[in-house]
Structures are given as structure tokens and as C-alpha cells.
Amino acid sequence: KNQVEQSPQSLIILEGKNCTLQCNYTVSPFSNLRWYKQDTGRGPVSLTIMTFSENTKSNGRYTATLDADTKQSSLHITASQLSDSASYICVVSARSNYQLIWGAGTKLIIKP
Amino acid sequence: SQTIHQWPATLVQPVGSPLSLECTVEGTSNPNLYWYRQAAGRGLQLLFYSVGIGQISSEVPQNLSASRPQDRQFILSSKKLLLSDSGFYLCAWSVGGLGEKLFFGSGTQLSVL
């Protein structure tokens, strides 16, 4: 069964600190993996999209990694800011039908 | 530049009442359009998608329906709302294949009482 699991479910860190969010998936055949940021009460916004051949991709202070062998991805946030408080969602696309399998997200809270 | 408009932002409806949520996209032609529902603590669930006017694909059986009367307009409807229809509804668009990057609207929080 195609699944995407994220951890931790929630995370609280102090402003300025770094953090890493995890995503494990069982989607096959794999097409691409995406990370979205969703502010409370808003629609998700794309941060990165990685295909099978990409190991890492950055978007400002956000760096996503992908290990297609172990079917794991991580999102690293550097020097966190209060505006980083949001849910971060991992999404995997299946190559067979472009179906998107959505994780439940990690709720990140940045405290001053 | 492309923009997506979704309204209303919040809606409180009694059980058994009808529903109509509207979504429009500007600045692009022939987009793929999607309706998603997000329950608290759960991943987004794809409800409907459309690759062209009048073409609607349903992903899950439910109490809802969708229509695409114009190229850049997508409507989510129900004749009689159920309590279980409560949730956060998101409209999205993409261009090219269905696996391309999605752009989301700001969402509608629907509460059925």
C-alpha cells in the first residue's frame, strides 16, 4: 500500500535553532517527492520537488534530501524564524498514475 | 502572473442544506483543476480533478460533486450536506501533466452543524 509517514508529528524549537523533519514512504513506482509548507488556515505552498536522481535541493534556508534506496527524505531548516511556524507536508508522486500520496504533516512551532 | 481565488473562506451550514464552493484561476489557460479535503491531523485527500471543461474525475465516492463550466472555473457542490462533510476544502491548479507542481487556493473551512 502506498503510504507516506512523517515524523515527528509536532516540534517546538527556539528561534534561531536548526531542525530536521523526516519523511518515510512506501510509494512505488516513485516519480518525485515534494515538500510543502502550510500556514494555519491557508493552502500549502511548494518548497521543493525532487526526482529520483536528485539527492538534495535547497530553497533558501530550507534544504531537502532524498535517499531513494531507503525511501527516506528529510527537510532541514536552518536558523529558524518565527515565520517558519507552520505545518510541513511531504508528498510523494507515483509514476504509474501521477497519484499524489500526502503525509499528515509535521506541525512546527518556533518560539522567540 | 497566475492567481487562484477560492471563496468563501469560512462557511457554517446546517445538515441537509446545499453547498456551492467556487474556485477560479487567472493568468493561465487549460489548467488541471483539483478539489482536496483536509481533515485535522490527516493528509490531503483528493476529491475531484479536471483536465478540461466538462471533464470531471472523482477519486472517492461521496456526497459531493464537482463541475467545470468554464476553462478556469471549478465548482464543488452538494445537494444535502452531512456532518461528515465538515473540513478544510482546498482548490488547486497545475499545468502540463497531472504530476506537475500544484498551486493551492487559500481554502474554505466548512462546518456542518
pLDDT tens, B8-23? 999 999 999 999 999 9
At residue B39, the pLDDT reads 86
Task: Encode pLDDT of A12-61 as tens digits.
Answer: 999 999 999 999 999 888 889 999 999 998 999 999 999 988 999 999 99
Smallest CA–CA distance from A50 into chain B, residue: B101
At residue A26, the pLDDT reads 94
The list of chain B residues with pLDDT below 70 reads 61, 98-99
Rounded to a whole number of angstroms, the distance from the CA of A104 to the nearest CA of chain B is 4
Q: Which candidate, A83, A36, A78, A38, places its Cα nearest to that of A60?
A: A78
Q: Is the pLDDT of residue A7 over 90?
A: yes
At residue A95, the pLDDT reads 77
Bridge partners of A46, per DSSP, are A36
At residue B113, the pLDDT reads 95
At residue A72, the pLDDT reads 97
Backbone angles phi, psi at A83, to 5 degrees: -70, -10
At residue B25, the pLDDT reads 96
Distances (CA, A) of A32 to A59, A62, B52, B70: 17, 18, 24, 31
Question: Could you please report the per-residue DSSP string of B28-93?
Answer: -SS-EEEEEEE-TTS--EEEEEEEETTEEEESS--S-EEEEEETTEEEEEESS--GGG-EEEEEEE
Q: Which candidate, A97, A65, A104, A79, places its Cα nearest to that of A13?
A: A79
At residue B62, the pLDDT reads 79
Q: Is B43 close to A46, i.e. CB distance below 8 A?
A: no
Chain A positions touching chain B (beta carbons under 8 Å): 4, 31-32, 34, 41-46, 49, 89, 93, 95, 98, 100-105
Rounded to a whole number of angstroms, the distance from the CA of B17 to the nearest CA of chain A is 24
Q: Is the pLDDT of residue A98 over 90?
A: no
At residue B60, the pLDDT reads 79
* Neighbouring residues of A41: CB distance < 8 A, sequence distance ≥ 6: B88, B106, B107, B109
**Amino acid at residue number A24:** N
Q: Which residues of B touch A31 (CB under 8 A)?
A: 99
Task: Encode pLDDT of B95-107 as tens digits.
Answer: 877 667 899 999 9
User: Could you say which of B43, B97, B109 has the minimum Cβ distance to residue A103?
Assistant: B43
The strand ranges marked E within A1-112 are 4-7, 10-14, 19-25, 30-38, 45-51, 56-59, 62-67, 72-77, 86-94, 100-102, 106-111
pLDDT band, residue A107 (cuts 50/70/90) = very high
Rounded to a whole number of angstroms, the distance from the CA of B2 to the nearest CA of chain A is 14
Q: Which residues of A touch B101 (CB under 8 A)?
A: 34, 46, 49
